[in-house]
A = this chain, B = another copy of it.
Amino acid sequence: MTDRLSVIFSALADPTRRAILARLAEGEATVTELAEPFDISLPAISRHLKVLEHAGLISRGRTAQWRTSRLEAEPLREATAWMERYRRFWDENFARLDAHLKRLQEEKS
């Protein structure tokens, strides 16, 4: 389980970690702020953050004694890209949508 996608998906497999990401979508936050909504200890949160950081889903900074976390969604793009391969299996309008996206691509160039 050393590959990138596995690390990303298993980071996302935990509801606490997904909730942390949701919170971070609203802006940077310190460890204590992130811990506040949960009924688990700070060390537990600290390790969740380490998992998210390891997956590249957050980056961390230090300001005085506070360690701030910041959302980095690039891994989500990778995970989404992997799933896109299966889009035709669920999306009836895939062909149409695909055409639109292709058009958009062409517009850009």
Chain A contact residues, CB within 8 Å of chain B? 1, 3, 5-6, 9-10, 12-15, 18, 21-22, 25, 71-74, 76-77, 79-80, 82-87, 89-91, 93, 96-97, 100-101, 104, 108
What is the interface of chain A mostly: helix, strand, loop, or mixed?
helix
Number of copies: 2
Q: Which residues from chain B contact A3 at a C-beta distance below 8 Å?
A: 15
9 A-B pairs, CB-CB below 8 angstroms? A3-B15, A18-B82, A25-B85, A73-B90, A77-B90, A77-B91, A80-B83, A80-B84, A93-B104
CB-based nearest B residue for A104: B100
| In the bound complex, CA of A79 to CA of B82 (Å) | 12
